[in-house]
Amino acid sequence: MTTSIENLKIKIFADGADLNGMLEMHEKPYIKGLTTNPTLMRKAGIANYKSFALEVLSQIKEKPISFEVFSDEFAEMKRQAMEISGWGENVYVKIPITNTLGESTADVVDYLVQQDVKVNVTALMTTEQVVEIAKVLDSTVPSYVSVFAGRIADTGRDPESIMVESLEALRNLAKTELIWASPRELLNVFQAERIGCHIITATNDILQKIKLIGYDLNEYSLDTVKMFKNDAASAGYEI
């Protein structure tokens, strides 16, 4: 396993909605892009979607960043996507693979790609979904396909085979990159690297563990023992 984040071929995107955290990650050379979504923004206490996005984009102007539509109606999805796309050259518009009724957004994606909108099709979890959406992407328009490998793993399934099949489904789309989304641990970065995935997103809690790459396991074991000892002493435990 590599002992340096700089040696990785896979691109790491920071996933979050805290402005200070996003700016901190943006400054790191190994962070190649950023993503966010309405759930993260709500948890961060963002009240005004557009104001927040424009504030972010006033300071992050070059690295790609994805903002998501939030309508459930296809016509409104298109309108929101066109609006969001106009906020910056580095903006990708997240489009969920279906609406909440389970209806495919392929026609929405098709329309947007024809308008040269850079899309990030998100929340995919099956190879069939990737194959479906690949049919409406364009090899001349940059796009991302976000397969939620972490959520697949949450169901007890190994996501690697689905990710490998997804790479094959997108192979002929020169400007489409596959994202290993929703990772659960730093090891996922190396799993995604091994299969040739283009991008992995990671929240700040996972990114903070980058400093542990290659760390001596005996030292890490000792650190853990010291942590237990210090916490027991701090709690004043007695038997």
pLDDT band at 7 (very low <50, low <70, confident <90, very high): confident
Residue 74's φ and ψ, nearest 5 degrees, are -60, -40
Range with the poorest average pLDDT among 64-68, 102-106, 121-125, 205-209: 205-209
Give the Cβ contact number of residue 156 at 10 Å. 6
Which structural domains are found in the chain, ordered by start? 5-211 (3.20.20.70)
Determine the average pLDDT of the residues in 213-230: 97
Bridge partners of 33, per DSSP, are 13
Are the C-beta atoms of 65 and 92 separated by less than 8 Å? yes
All residues at 6 or more sequence positions from 155 whose CB lies less than 8 Å from its CB, including other chains? none
The span from the first CA to the last CA of the chain, in angstroms, equals: 43
Q: What confidence score (pLDDT) does residue 85 get?
A: 98
Bridge partners of 68, per DSSP, are 94
If residue 180 lies in a helix (H) or strand (E), which one and from where to where? strand 176-180
pLDDT band at 2 (very low <50, low <70, confident <90, very high): low
